[in-house]
Amino acid sequence: SDLMRTDLTKSSWRKKVDAFVGYVFLVTIFVAYFPVVLLISSLNKFVFLGVLDSFYETYGTTIGLVLFMALLPPVLLLIFRFFFTLKSGAWSQYELTTWYFGFLFVYVLCVTAIGTSVIESAAMLVETPYALATLLASTLPKSSHYYMQYLILQCLLHCLELTQFITLLKYCFWRIFYAQDKAVEVSRNRPERCNEIGQRTAKLSLNMCIALVFSTVAPLILIFALVDIVVTRVVYGYLVAFAEVSGPDLGGVFWVTQLRQLQLGLATYVLLEIGILAAGCESKFAWVSVLPAMFLILHVFYDLHKRYLWVVLPFDKTVSEITSDRQRYLQPQLL
Give me the pLDDT at residue 317, please: 65
Q: Establish if 268 belongs to a structural domain.
A: yes
Q: Establish if 319 belongs to a structural domain.
A: no
Instruction: Supply φ then ψ for residue 88, to 5 degrees.
Output: -155, 170
Q: Establish if 314 belongs to a structural domain.
A: no
Q: Establish if 323 belongs to a structural domain.
A: no
Give me the pLDDT at residue 211, please: 93
CA dist 259 → 67, 290, 299 (Å): 26, 21, 14
Full domain range(s) for residue 108: 5-307
Q: Which residues of the chain have pLDDT under 70?
A: 1-2, 41-61, 112-131, 189-195, 313-331, 333-335
Give me the pLDDT at residue 192, please: 47
Give me the pLDDT at residue 142, please: 82
Q: Is 3 helix (H, G, I), strand (E, B) or coil?
A: strand
**Residue 6 CB coordination number (10 Å):** 8
Contact 271, 133 (CB under 8 A): yes
Give me the pLDDT at residue 287, please: 77
Give me the pLDDT at residue 102, please: 92
Give me the pLDDT at residue 176, please: 85
**How many structural domains comprise the chain?**
1
Q: Establish if 105 belongs to a structural domain.
A: yes
Instruction: Supply φ then ψ for residue 176, to 5 degrees.
Output: -70, -30
Q: Establish if 99 belongs to a structural domain.
A: yes
Q: Establish if 153 belongs to a structural domain.
A: yes
- Let me know if 273 is exposed, middle or buried by CB neighbors in 10 A (0-12, 13-18, 19+): buried
Q: Establish if 200 belongs to a structural domain.
A: yes
